[in-house]
Structure formats: C-alpha cells, structure tokens
Amino acid sequence: MKFGVVVFPGSNCDYDCQHVLSEVLGQETEMLWHENRDLKECDCIILPGGFSYGDYLRTGAIAHFSPVMESIRNFIEGGGLVIGICNGFQILVESQLLPGALLPNQPGHFICRYVYLRVENSETPFTRLFYPGEVIRIPIAHHQGNYFIPDSSLVTLQNNRQILFRYCDAEGQINPESNPNGSVDAIAGIMSSSQNIMGMMPHPERSSEDLLGSQDGKRIFLSVIQWWEEKQHAKK
C-alpha cells in the first residue's frame, strides 16, 4: 500500500507519520508538498499535525486553499482514503470535507498529554482492528481541539455512526473530567458519511511504538492497510 503525507508550511508531525508508515509498518510513503497537485498514485492520504501557516486566521483556514486540496477533493470523490490528524482534522473541517468546527480548548491553553479514548464504531476502514467500546490510550497536543457541531448535525453524526472515538476515563466512562478540551459529546474523532475520510485530534503516530508508551495508534494505520489489502484481493 502507498501512503502520501502532505507537507504544509508549519507542519511538524509529517515526518513522525512518515517514520511510522515506512519504518514501523514497512509501507511505501511519499511526502507531498502542498503546492503540488500530483498525489503520486497514493492509496491513502495523511494530513498531519502541526501549525500550518502558523495557524493564522484560524487553524487550517489558509491551508485549505493549497493546490493539493483540490486534488484531495477529487481523490475523495473517487473513494480514496484520507486521514486528518490534529491540524489535519482542522484543515478537513475548514475545507468542509468533514462537518463541525474546532474551537479553542475550554481550559484556554495548549494541552499535551496522553488521554483515553473509547472506540464507538469498529466497522470502518480506520477502526476495524478494534472492538466496540474498547478503551485505548493516545496522546493529544493542541490548543484548538474543542470539537463543536450544532445539535441537529450532532444527531446526524450519532445516527450515522460517524463518531469513531470519544474521550473517556480509564474505565471507558464518558464524563466532564475525562474531556480535556470541552468537545461536544466528548468527540475525539469522526468520519465522513461516505466512510472514507477520518479526522481526529489525538495523534496515533505518537502511539505506534512501545518506546512512546503505547501502540494503540498503530492499529488505526493497520486497519487501513488490512482494509486496502482485502479490497485489492477482492479485485483479483
């Protein structure tokens, strides 16, 4: 499988993603400069974390005008898989490729620590190696990770099972104390109604090796790889 990691000015988790995909998981990986429209025949595109364009105006507000985003839109329309991590999630929301908005954290400051997440839907290309209700441990690092969506649209997310991860405590309970940023319904990650776009604020690439304290994030990438391999096998 071939992954593409988009590099914007200010990206700082791009090579973390590249390391996990190529060195840990052994997958072919291309670094894609944001000004280039060529996605180089990649099977899955990663929009990594960081501070694209210094987070001026709003997080992701400038990056979503980059030339590569037009190619990504076409890629998505053709069924291609896209993962937005942290700033990448913010870019997808600004591009209206995922619903909602990312607001400043309710505590009013940058948060960088491990959190617990509860898997809400394991029947997707991104979560198929988890089980429903499983509690996993993945770090966050953001100032604007407070996910907001109007009540009417939240109901749609819930009914369509588009919520993939919610902040929880170590026992899997959802409560205000385990919600680090004030996100609506404790939402940490969602997918599109077409099930080929995922956005999440936690960083799975930072929890893909024992050295980092957790390998839970690696299963997100492994889920995608397994889904793609099965799809290729079905074509034969």
- Digitized pLDDT (tens) for each residue of the chain, 236 residues in all: 999 999 999 999 999 999 999 999 999 999 999 999 999 999 999 999 998 887 777 777 788 889 999 999 999 999 999 999 999 999 999 999 999 999 999 989 999 999 999 999 999 999 999 999 999 999 999 999 999 999 999 999 999 999 999 999 999 999 999 999 999 999 999 999 999 999 999 999 999 999 999 999 999 999 999 999 999 888 87
- Class of the domain covering 2-235: alpha beta
Q: What is the pLDDT of residues 70-98, one digit of tens each?
A: 999 999 999 999 999 999 999 999 999 99
Instruction: Out of 30, 86, 142, 168, pick the active-site residue.
Output: 86
Say whether 203 is catalytic: yes
Percent of the chain with pLDDT over 90: 89
Domain coordinates of the chain in residue numbers?
2-235
Say whether 143 is catalytic: no
The alpha carbon dihedral of 109, 113, 118, 124 has a sign of positive
What's the pLDDT score for residue 63? 86
Entry pTM? 0.96
Instruction: Out of 64, 142, 143, 203, pick the active-site residue.
Output: 203
Say whether 86 is catalytic: yes
Instruction: Out of 30, 94, 120, 205, pick the active-site residue.
Output: 205
